[in-house]
Amino acid sequence: MTAKAQNSAPSRAQAARDALVDAALPNAAFDGWSEATLAQAARDAGLSEGEVQLYCPAGILDVIETWTRRCDAQARAEIEANPANRIRDKVSQGVLLRLAQYEGEEEAAARARARLLLPDGIDRGARLVWATSHMIWSAIGDTSTDGNFYSKRAILSGVYASTFAIWLEDDSEDRAKTAEFLGRRIDNIMQFEKAKGQVRKLTKNLPDLTAMMGDLRYGMRRAK
């Protein structure tokens, strides 16, 4: 095996986690993402209890995260291979391509979402939504490093999470309801960004109010 092939091959741990995901999905759709589902998946994947504890110390939550991040990676490849033009189209396409990774596994996705809403999973669920939002922005070429980096991902996290909920219940043709809902949310984001840009233009020549308040509180700086 060449060095390149070795680098691209999944680690034993990753291969084991992927095997658990594949084995768990059919049962999770009916029985939910439970420790019983994990135990059955381990038997089906030929993994011992010790191996499961080693590769998934947080149990079924690690399996859900593995599935989520695998879907992120698959979506990123599709987003980068099918670039859109306008920024709103890029974001919309990114969200829809990410949700499309759950096609055929809607019930398992719904149950994973429900599991991550439980007290021991809600923090991880929030981090995974953020990771998905970061993936979408990165895949469409966002290079921001200032405060916009965080605001963009925070806003898209809310858009993705709410659109995901609509997508799970959408039985319309080609999931038209989801596309309409997402379109409205992105329109709101674009209006906000436009307004924010206008405010920056209007205030760019104004004094730094933060510095002025600091001077008032701590006294004017002495001239050097």
Q: Where are the domains of the chain?
A: 70-218
The pLDDT-based confidence of 7 (bands split at 50, 70, 90) is: low
Do 75 and 135 meet the contact criterion of CB atoms below 8 Å apart? yes
pLDDT of 6 above 60: no
The pLDDT-based confidence of 5 (bands split at 50, 70, 90) is: very low
103 — alpha (psi -120 to 50), left (phi > 0) or beta?
Answer: beta
Higher pLDDT, 159 or 7: 159
pLDDT of 3 above 50: no
SS3 breakdown of the chain: % helix, strand, coil, rounded to 5? 75, 0, 25
Question: CA torsion sign, 127 to 130 to 132 to 134?
Answer: negative
Do 58 and 45 meet the contact criterion of CB atoms below 8 Å apart? no
The arithmetic mean of pLDDT across residues 83-95, rounded, is 94
| Range with the poorest average pLDDT among 16-25, 101-110, 202-211 | 202-211
Helix ranges (H only) for 82-175 are: 87-100, 106-116, 122-139, 147-169
The pLDDT-based confidence of 134 (bands split at 50, 70, 90) is: very high
Does the predicted model carry a pTM greater than 0.85?
no
pLDDT of 27 above 70: yes
Question: CA torsion sign, 11 to 13 to 19 to 24?
Answer: negative
Whole-number Å distance between alpha carbons of 106 and 64: 14
Whole-number Å distance between alpha carbons of 192 and 186: 10
pLDDT of 203 above 50: no
The arithmetic mean of pLDDT across residues 216-221, rounded, is 50
C-alpha to C-alpha distances, 213 to 83, 158, 188, nearest whole angstrom: 46, 33, 33
pLDDT over 90 for what percent of the chain? 75
Whole-number Å distance between alpha carbons of 119 and 145: 32
Whole-number Å distance between alpha carbons of 116 and 120: 8
The arithmetic mean of pLDDT across residues 148-172, rounded, is 95
